[in-house]
Amino acid sequence: MHPVSLDSFTKKYKTLVEERLREAVSALETPENLAKAMLYSLEAGGKRIRPLLVFAVIDAFGKDPQDGLDAAAAIEMVHTYSLIHDDLPSMDDDDLRRGKPTNHKVFGEATAILAGDALLTLSFNLLTEIPEDSIPANIKLALIKGLSAAAGAPGMVGGQVADMEGENKKLTLEQLEYIHINKTGKLLEYSIIAGAEVAGATAEQKEVLSKFAYHIGLAFQIRDDILDLEGTEEMIGKPVGSDTANEKSTYPALLGLAGAKDALDSHLLSAKDSLAQSGLEVGILDQITDLIGLRNN
């Protein structure tokens, strides 16, 4: 295991992926205002957890994380498009995201919808543009297939619809998990599988990493729900207790706060178990798992 700190790893690859995102949009021949709207949300900050997972998985295989740069950028575009559309007046109607006005507040609703559409479309284009000598055609196709499945009706978009349908209803734990597995889990899982594809993982390695992905995806969401109760407004970027105020079904609401914390610990432990089983150099992935357990925002 090579002793790289998560901090220096994060700093290096966050910079790289942010540069790639800027480059990809700047290279487009398109109306200036559309490019501006796309960049506005891409550059609004965030932890870039999905790109980091791509890079960390490739690192775990002892390969050069930079091989996953386009895959990482494509995933971040899809994540960003989903935030722009989720914030729209007809959806969550949010005025702020990470302390900044949301896309439609700055550019208007029509341009925000189109900026989201353009980012989603560009993500697939980016994957087709990867040079053949760096990633072969069949792996590129696997990346596009995985991203389109994770992002679409059987994944993220389906989860968002289920989430809207569940508003102001008391959900079962099963229904709540369906929403989270699809709305946020599948794109997180895909980030890990994309790294594995780029690194040339075997089917067995991908299976172990899928388990890891499943558990950190749910851990991520449970921690989010707990933070809504225990965090500060500064930490989470929105008023504390807004889920309760909005009568949202959450893990603490269903399991109690102590029960939710137990579930979090159990998913983190299972995630770490999967990593240990993988036989890979999982130093960075292990630290990311710890970070998800402790994250403040």
The radius of gyration of the chain's CA atoms, rounded to the nearest angstrom, is 19
The burial class, CB within 10 Å (0-12 / 13-18 / 19+), for 22 is: middle
150 near 190, Cβ under 8 Å? yes
User: Should residue 170 be labelled a site residue for a copy of itself when binding is judged by CB under 8 A?
Assistant: no
User: Should residue 73 be labelled a site residue for a copy of itself when binding is judged by CB under 8 A?
Assistant: no
Q: Between residues 123 and 274, which has the closer beta carbon with respect to a copy of itself?
A: 123
User: Should residue 141 be labelled a site residue for a copy of itself when binding is judged by CB under 8 A?
Assistant: yes
Q: Between residues 31 and 241, which has the closer beta carbon with respect to a copy of itself?
A: 31
Q: How far is the CB of 178 from a copy of itself (least distance, A)?
A: 9
Of the residues 105, 124, 270, 297, which one makes contact with a copy of itself according to CB under 8 A: 124
Of the residues 47, 145, 169, 170, which one makes contact with a copy of itself according to CB under 8 A: 145
User: Should residue 41 be labelled a site residue for a copy of itself when binding is judged by CB under 8 A?
Assistant: no
Compute, in degrees rounded to 10, the torsion defined by CA atoms 194, 184, 84, 22.
-30
Q: Between residues 85 and 267, which has the closer beta carbon with respect to a copy of itself?
A: 85
What type of residue sits at position 232? T
Considering only residues 229 through 288, tell me which ones interact with a copy of itself, judged by CB under 8 A: none
User: Which of helix, strand or coil describes residue 238?
Assistant: coil
Listed ranges 47-55, 132-140, 213-221, 287-295: which one lies at the site for a copy of itself (CB under 8 A): 132-140
Residues 6+ apart with CB under 8 A from 223: 264, 292, 293, 295
φ and ψ of 32, to 5 deg? -55, -40
User: Should residue 168 be labelled a site residue for a copy of itself when binding is judged by CB under 8 A?
Assistant: no
User: Should residue 118 be labelled a site residue for a copy of itself when binding is judged by CB under 8 A?
Assistant: yes
94 near 69, Cβ under 8 Å? no
Of the residues 13, 17, 18, 38, which one makes contact with a copy of itself according to CB under 8 A: 38
User: Which of helix, strand or coil describes residue 100?
Assistant: strand
User: Should residue 21 be labelled a site residue for a copy of itself when binding is judged by CB under 8 A?
Assistant: no
User: Should residue 109 be labelled a site residue for a copy of itself when binding is judged by CB under 8 A?
Assistant: yes
Widest distance between CA atoms in the chain: 53
CA 27 – CA 7 distance, rounded (Å) = 30
CA 212 – CA 190 distance, rounded (Å) = 11
Q: How far is the CB of 1 from a copy of itself (least distance, A)?
A: 35
Please give the residue ranges that form the binding site for a copy of itself (CB under 8 A). Answer: 25, 28-31, 33-35, 38, 85, 88, 90-91, 108-111, 113-114, 116-118, 120-122, 124-125, 127-129, 137-138, 140-142, 144-145, 148-149, 151-154, 157-158, 160-162, 164-165
